[in-house]
Structures are given as structure tokens and as C-alpha cells.
Amino acid sequence: MKLFRLVHENVTPLLEKNPVYGCSLHTGRPFFYGFEGIAGAILESSIYFSLYEVPPTIVSVEYDLPDESLHTIKDNSPDLYGNYARGNDRLGAWVADFLHNNVALVAAFPSKHWARQRNYIINPKHDLFQQVKISDIRSVYY
């Protein structure tokens, strides 16, 4: 499985040593968002929601993940997303539960903004995270 995320270019040297850098910690446990493509990563990004553009200092990171640990959430209820303010998606309590219970390496959930699009939460504390590889880091611009 290939997933993408956006990071600031200053983080990339750290990512090459440890793919966990730049994780979100709002659940009290590290995780990061993943997307099926660079376009999805941009359109779901809080940076893009705030600025309506992506600064040239933001780069895309492509991850190769093992396929055998995917937990899919099909529910599209308001509880799935938690509070939403100023473009910052704070997902519901399910994220903390998913991470705390170490359910899987990856959780797929419906996008709040785009029909038929899934977003992903990647759990770096899961045993299979050791198999995660960064396959590409590059500018989102040509």
C-alpha cells in the first residue's frame, strides 16, 4: 500500500533517519495522516484550507506500508470527526481508541470533504511500522 503525506522541507532529513518525525500528538499518542495521492494530501491539508495554496517549503512524502494491517471505518457519522474549527480536523475519540488499543497499523476512514475518498491514520507504535519505508520525498511543484 502506498500513502502520501505533506511535511515541511526542514523535517525531511529527520524523516530519513526516523519515519515517525512530524507526527501529530493531539491524542496523546503519535500518529500521522496518510492519503491515497498527493492531490488528496493537499486538499485535506490544514495548510491548504487556511491559505488556499501550498507553500513551496512543503514537500510530499511517499510511504510503502504492508497491506495486511488495515482497519476500515465505514461510518460517516458526525462523531467520526469530532470538533472542526478553522480548518483543523480534530477526529473523534475513535482515533485515541484505535491508537491506544493498537488495533492495526493503518485505519481508513471516509473523508469529511470529498465523496468516495478515504483518508488514513498511521499508527507508528504498531509492530508492523518497522516495515514502513519511505520510497520518495519531493516537492509538490514541478
- pLDDT, one tens digit per residue, over 1-53 is 999 999 999 999 988 788 777 777 666 778 889 999 999 999 888 788 788 89
Query: Taking 80 as the threshold, does the pLDDT of residue 76 lie above it?
Result: no
Where in the sequence is the domain holding 70, given as residue range(s)? 2-139
Q: What is the pLDDT of residue 83?
A: 53
One-character DSSP codes across the chain? -EEEEEEEGGGHHHHHH-TTTT-B-TTSS-BEEEESSHHHHHHT-HHHHHHSS--TTEEEEEEE--TT-EEE-----GGGT--EETTEE---THHHHHHHTT--SEEEEE-SSSTT-EEEEE-TTSGGGGG-EEEEEEES--
Q: How many domains does the chain have?
A: 1
